[in-house]
Amino acid sequence: MSDTVQVERQQKMDSREDTDFFGGTAQGVLSTAMDRPDGPQKVTGTATYADEDHPPGTVFGWLVRATVTRGFVTGLNTDELRAMPGVLLVLRDDRLLRNPAQGQAGRAPVQFKGEVAYKGQPIALVVAESFEQARHAGLAAKADYLDRGGKAVICPEDAEFETPKAKQSSMGDLDAAMTAAAHRLDGEWTTPSMSHVAMEPHSAVAWWEDGKLTVRASQQMLKHNVKELADSLGISPAMVRILAPFVGGGFGSKLGISHESVAAAIAARKLGRPVAVPLHRRQVCETTTRRSESRQRVRLCCDRDGVLTGVGHEVWVSNLPGETFSEPVTQSTPFTYRGENREIAHHVGRLNITCAGSMRAPGEAIGVPVTEAAIDELAEMAGIDPIEFRLRNIPEEDPSKEIPYSSNRLADCLRRGAELFGWSERKPAGTRREGEWLIGMGMATAVRVNMLQESEARVVLLPDGSARVETDMTDIGTGSYSILTQIAAEALGLPADRVTTVLGDSDLPPAAGSGGSFGAASSGSSVTLAAQAVREELAKRMGADPGELTLKDGHAIAGNTRRSLPDLLGGEAIEGKGTIKPGSNARSVRQASWGAQFAEVAVSAVTGEVQVRRMAAVFAAGRVLNPKTARSQCIGGMVFGIGSALTEESHYDRRDGSFVNRDLAEYKIPANLDVPKIEIEFLEDRDAWANPMQAKGIGEVAVCGTAGAILNAIANATGVRFRHLPVTLDKVIAALPRP
Q: What is the pLDDT of residues 137-165, one digit of tens each?
A: 999 999 999 997 788 999 999 999 999 99
Distances (CA, A) of 388 to 298, 340, 345, 375, 383: 21, 20, 28, 11, 10
Give the span between the Cα atoms of 551 and 561, in whole angstroms: 12
Task: Write the DSSP assignment of 313-361 as a string of letters.
Answer: EEEEEEE-TT------TTTTHHHHS--SEEEEEEEEEE-SSSPB---SS
Q: What is the per-residue pLDDT for 36?
A: 97
Give how far the C-alpha of residue 237 lies from the chain's centroid of Cα atoms, to the nearest Å: 25
The residues pairing with 312 across neighbouring beta strands, listed in sequence order, are 299, 343
Domain 4-30+453-582, CATH class in plain words: alpha beta
Q: What is the pLDDT of residues 355-376, one digit of tens each?
A: 999 999 999 999 999 999 999 9
- Asked whether the domain spanning 403-451+588-735 has the same topology as the one spanning 4-30+453-582, the reply is yes
Integer-rounded Cα Rg, in Å, for the chain is 27
Reply yes or no on whether the pLDDT at 108 is more than 90: no
The CA distance from 633 to 448, in Å, is 14
Distance CA 478, CA 154 (A): 35
Instruction: Report, as an integer, the average pLDDT of 39-58.
Output: 96
Q: How many residues can be counted in the chain? A: 739
Residue 213 backbone dihedrals phi, psi, to 5 degrees: -95, 135
| pLDDT the model gives residue 106 | 38
Report angle CA 355, 359, 365 to the nearest 5 degrees: 130
Is 380 noted as a catalytic residue in this protein?
no
CATH number of 403-451+588-735: 3.30.365.10
Residue 159 has a pLDDT of: 96
**Residue range 64-73: mean pLDDT, rounded:** 95
- Rounded to an integer, the average pLDDT of 294-319 is 98
pTM of the model: 0.97
| 267 pLDDT higher than 90 | yes
Q: Distance between CA atoms of 716 and 613, rounded to whole angstroms?
A: 14
Strands of the sheet with 275-278, listed across from one edge: 87-91, 122-128, 59-65, 275-278, 203-209, 212-217, 240-243
Looking at every residue in the chain, the average pLDDT score rounds to 96
User: Is the pLDDT assigned to residue 499 strictly greater than 60?
Assistant: yes
CA torsion through residues 690, 685, 36, 697, sign: positive
**DSSP per residue, 191-214:** E--EE---SSPPEEEEEEETTEEE
In tens, the pLDDT along 548-605 reads: 999 999 999 999 999 999 999 999 999 999 999 999 999 999 999 999 999 999 999 9
Mean pLDDT for 85-95 is 95
The percent of residues in the chain predicted with pLDDT above 90, rounded, is 96
Q: Picking from 103-117, 238-252, 484-498, 528-542, which range would have the lowest pLDDT averaged per residue?
A: 103-117
- Predicted pLDDT of residue 104: 42
The pLDDT score that the predictor gives to residue 112 is: 60
Mean pLDDT value across residues 375-379: 98
pLDDT at residue 96 in the model? 85
Q: Is the pLDDT of residue 102 over 70?
A: no
Instruction: Work out the pLDDT band at 97, boundaries 50, 70, 90.
Output: confident
The dihedral built from the CA positions of residue 431, 436, 441 and 447, taken in this order, carries a sign that is positive
Q: What is the 3-state secondary structure (H, E, C) of 441-496?
A: EEEEEEEEECCCCCEEEEEEECCCCCEEEECCCCCCCCCHHHHHHHHHHHHHCCCH
By CB neighbour count within 10 A (0-12 exposed, 13-18 middle, 19+ buried), where does 734 fall? exposed
pLDDT at 110 over 70: no
* Residue 738 region by backbone torsions, left for phi larger than 0, else alpha for psi between -120 and 50, else beta: beta
Parse the chain into domains and list their residue ranges: 4-30+453-582, 403-451+588-735
pLDDT on residue 303 = 98
Rounded average pLDDT over 216-226:
98
In the beta sheet, which residues pair with residue 680?
A: 617
What percent of the chain is predicted at pLDDT more than 70? Answer: 98
Whether the bond into 726 is cis, omega within 30 of 0: yes
For residues 359 and 102, give the distance between their C-alpha atoms in angstroms, rounded to a whole number: 11
Q: What is the pLDDT of residue 103?
A: 40
Q: What is the pLDDT of residue 612?
A: 98
Dist. CA 668–CA 644, nearest whole Å: 10
Q: What is the Cα–Cα distance from 669 to 647, expressed in whole angstroms?
A: 6
Contacts of 578 (CB under 8 A, 6+ apart): 8, 9, 10, 456, 457, 458, 459, 525, 526, 527, 528, 529, 530, 531, 532, 533
- Alpha-carbon gap, residue 474 to 593, rounded angstroms: 22
- Read off the pLDDT of residues 513-529 as tens digits, 9 standing for 90 and up: 999 999 999 999 999 99
pLDDT, position 150: 82
Q: Tell me the C-alpha distance between 262 and 252, whole Å.
A: 18
| Chain mean position to CA 710 | 21
Asked if the model's pLDDT at residue 105 lies above 60, the reply is no
